[in-house]
Amino acid sequence: MKVHRELGSGFLEAVYDEALMKEFTNSNIPFKSQVKLNVFYEGEQLKKYYKADFICYDKIILEIKSVSQIPIVFFSQLKNYLTATKKELGMLINFGQPSLVYKRILNTKN
């Protein structure tokens, strides 16, 4: 991915977030950033909510990280985002390693 090639690893997530917004805009990729994802319990919206880093093409949730290893909790976080939005596809992208690491997550609860 161009952002990782240009910046390398080790920056804060906010740096990659801003660079990705520029790249999405330059590539005409439709996206929303820092999207509030409401959570419902027994049909009622809770006060607490998730915040997705990006939603691209109105259907793919991108969650970016900058860590040395991806703990299982980040996979669970993205699965919860997919469940809350009923979206089918998520991508967990880690900029924290020398080589870009990404994992595709499918929502099997729909």
Q: How confident is the model at residue 12 (pLDDT cuts 50, 70, 90)?
A: very high
* Mean pLDDT, the chain, whole residue set: 93
Taking 90 as the threshold, does the pLDDT of residue 46 lie above it? yes
83-87 mean pLDDT: 88
| 50 vs 62, residue with greater confidence | 62
User: Is the pTM of the predicted complex or chain greater than 0.85?
Assistant: yes
Q: How many domains does the chain have?
A: 1
Q: How confident is the model at residue 40, as a pLDDT? A: 87
Task: Print burial letters for 46-57: b (CB count within 10 Å at least 16), e (below 16).
Answer: eeeebebbbbbe
Tell me, what's the pLDDT at 39?
Answer: 87
- CATH number, position 51: 3.90.320.10
Task: Say what the pLDDT of residue 18 is.
Answer: 97
User: Quick one: CA dihedral 73, 75, 79, 81, positive or negative?
Assistant: positive
Q: What is the pLDDT of residue 23?
A: 97
Q: Which residues does 75 contact at the CB level (< 8 Å), separation at least 6?
A: 92, 103, 105
Q: How far apart (Å, rounded) are the C-alpha atoms in residues 33 and 62?
A: 9
Q: What's the angle, vertex CA 36, arms to CA 62 and CA 28, rounded to 5?
A: 45
Q: Region 94-106: what's the mean pLDDT?
A: 94
Select from 39, 24, 34 the least CA-distant residue to 82: 39
| Range of the structural domain that residue 99 is part of | 2-106
